[in-house]
Structure 1
């Protein structure tokens, strides 16, 4: 029976994987088939907005955490106008972008390069970025037929805020106000409003929020039919398809914390208080297995999808994309030595210092003190708290990521720091879940 289940799950995962690769290739090829004419026109409309703001503008606060990435957004627009409509499959796998230059101008930035690239006379050469899928182009290029960058950014803000509201509402309904506040705080601490203003940052939050909605609405069916490994495999695959290595881990950590809390709630509701006295050892083991198993499946979905792009591109383009990708991986995980040292301490210090300014650190410390005091005075049954401790393992995930990808995480700490939202959510959710609201209510009522 166990062998049959493994065989069934393996077949299901293989079908999902092959289907997703086919869909991803088709999405990219179809988006590259769209004629460039109207796209070029709307991109040209967008130049002034980018020029006014500059490469790395800061909003709300003059801190690295509130910095937009117009550098990459301009580059994404450059890729959007560089498609070869006559060879959409090859072009979508090669992902060309224009390198422009005008007489007397050297070392121009990405925005100026984009502006010059609109005139083919200024194009000096083309380069490619074939090691990523660039799945966002499947959405961005169709939108650019009708809208400018400024208009797309506004729609992006509306869509992400709407999803954010939906997720918060569902968390409140399924897990209570305390956990909802934990999620809200974790998002605000990584400057969620800033995310909505940058296309580069947005992909991961779409994947995360939509995954959260699926988990919150269908967690019972997912658990009963043992679909969690498939779900997290799909989430990992979608992350690899859409993201440019911004903060991919949030699409694993935040939905996984939520899923563990939900299945914990299900178990508690199905058992009496007497039963809870005897379930800690079994349920803590089950929850640890869920964390490990689903993390592995997310990693497989992420890694296999990324590697598949290298293989498919190498075959179709007859170029060694695999070697280029592996070389870049070595760079991103290496310590170059010299004056710039990427150590475990330096990368953790760089990322945490972006998130925890003097102001935000005071807020987090105050909330932790209040939460811990409330947990000590009005905690739930000890066994119930023990069984949920595996979510604290999830809180450690960003630090493991930073240790592996030291180079990339430190160089780009002003956006890779957003992986730390997992740590905040897991810690605050653990504390808030451990607080017995009924005891607080009773104490207030007696007064």
Structure 2
């Protein structure tokens, strides 16, 4: 335990220092070419009103894609105050907006590009409580490509990663991992994920985590390095994600672990608790490191701002009792799914429940509960997250609903494990 604590502390400290240095370095890049590249496609990427395409498919994409947060990310990438140095930018994360008290990112980005650095009619805001690690790749890409081309490039990366996971899973004779990973993706409105800078971050991190597990599971398991692995996933999620649907980077890899490693019930339950704690320490610890570094070096007041933000994001919605409000917000998130996805989720749940009833009736529960118990607990994680941070989950239900894909991943894992158990029984 003492060794693990030292490892965790060292990894967190190194991550915070390296993360800060990398952000400072990308803020040294010239923003002039980035702005010109953004200007080339800002009109296309922020289409509205009469500019919306006429065909149904394109209209659906433009109507539902997350341009609000994408616009914030892009403007953060091209912002540069002449009287502020790179370190101040990395810590404060300056952002001009047309409004003083509310955010209007799409209109503000358009105005920022059209004004050619004349921001006299705009208000200066800061966004210091996030790391904004996505700038590590977004700024260099915008230096070379337009915003539209960056989105297409990121789409190609996601498709390549999904194919890589599928091929690796088949080669490792564990197609169930691919079924769980790619099957759960269907419950994220996948087309909208693939064409959004914001929504693709957690999905790309999840794919990378699953691929690494497929390639190095034996070493991670034998050397007891899975706690550090989940710690690093939490750190990377905190650093790159914009608080969209982060819990998927924990839940889906957990499901894949249960397919890769068949342990006794209590071992898996203990590992589930340990891995969740490791991810949580990495996620919260890395986030807190940003607040501490910013406050200690520039007296930004980020810690105070972050604490008030946490209080606001986690308060019960609409003055309701917490559990009552939690169930209400779960309903809001479920409502984001189209009817056909609700039917698919119902079928998936019915198959899982039907298999469980069959197992109990046939008296085989003792043979499989060891594998299924941690999967059932994993399925509850997204619901617990929504109840805990229900204000944020209600305010941004249009994208937070994607954490429910963890429950879908758990249901698919449940079915795959039952099928595997049935095959083993037939052989014996």
User: Same fold judged by TM-score > 0.5?
Assistant: yes
Is the partner of 2:242 in helix, strand or coil? coil
Alpha-carbon contact 1:380-1:435 (below 8 Å) kept: no
Is the partner of 1:131 in helix, strand or coil? coil
Aligned to 1:424: 408
CA RMSD of aligned residues (A): 3.2
Aligned to 1:361: 342
Alpha-carbon contact 1:28-1:137 (below 8 Å) kept: yes
**Which has the greater radius of gyration?**
1
Shift of 1:164: 1.4
Q: Deviations over 1:174-205 (max 9, x none)?
A: 46445533432211121222101010111111
Alpha-carbon contact 1:96-1:129 (below 8 Å) kept: yes
Aligned to 1:318: 299
Q: Deviations over 1:247-285 (max 9, x none)?
A: 000000100111122111xx6xxxxxxxxxxxxxxx100
Residue ranges of structure 1 left out of the alignment (5+ in a row) = 1-5, 268-282
Aligned to 2:90: 92
Is the partner of 1:97 in helix, strand or coil? strand
Q: Deviations over 1:362-412 (max 9, x none)?
A: 2233344456657748x9965442111211111100011011101000111
Question: In the aligned structure 2, how far is the partner of 1:193 from the partner of 1:380?
Answer: 43
Instruction: Give the 5 Å matches for 1:9-28.
Output: 9-28=4-23
Q: Does 1:69 align with 2:53?
A: no
Q: Does 1:79 align with 2:79?
A: no
Question: In the aligned structure 2, how far is the partner of 1:347 from the partner of 1:61?
Answer: 30
Shift of 1:126: 1.3
Aligned to 1:255: 253
Aligned to 1:148: 146
Instruction: Give the 5 Å matches for 1:233-244.
Output: 233-244=231-242
Q: Which moved more, 1:254-263 or 1:330-339?
A: 330-339
Structure 1 residues 64 and 383: alpha-carbon distance in aligned structure 2, compared to 1, 3 A threshold: farther
Question: In the aligned structure 2, how far is the partner of 1:185 from the partner of 1:27?
Answer: 35
Instruction: Give the 5 Å matches for 1:38-437.
Output: 38-53=33-48, 60=57, 67-84=64-81, 87-100=85-98, 109-118=104-113, 119-123=116-120, 124-174=122-172, 176-264=174-262, 283-335=264-316, 337=318, 343-355=325-337, 357-370=338-351, 376=358, 382-389=365-372, 390-436=374-420
Aligned mate of 1:35, from 6, 30, 35? 30
Is the partner of 1:126 in helix, strand or coil? strand
Number of positions where the alignment pairs a residue of Structure 1 with one of Structure 2: 414
Question: In the aligned structure 1, how far is the partner of 2:209 from the partner of 2:396?
Answer: 25
Is the partner of 2:96 in helix, strand or coil? strand
Question: In the aligned structure 2, how far is the partner of 1:295 from the partner of 1:81?
Answer: 36
Residue ranges of structure 2 left out of the alignment (5+ in a row) = none
Shift of 1:345: 1.7
TM-score, normalised with respect to structure 2? 0.88
Question: In the aligned structure 2, how far is the partner of 1:33 from the partner of 1:380?
Answer: 66
Question: In the aligned structure 2, how far is the partner of 1:373 from the partner of 1:329?
Answer: 40
Question: In the aligned structure 2, how far is the partner of 1:347 from the partner of 1:438?
Answer: 38
Structure 1 residues 418 and 380: alpha-carbon distance in aligned structure 2, compared to 1, 3 A threshold: farther
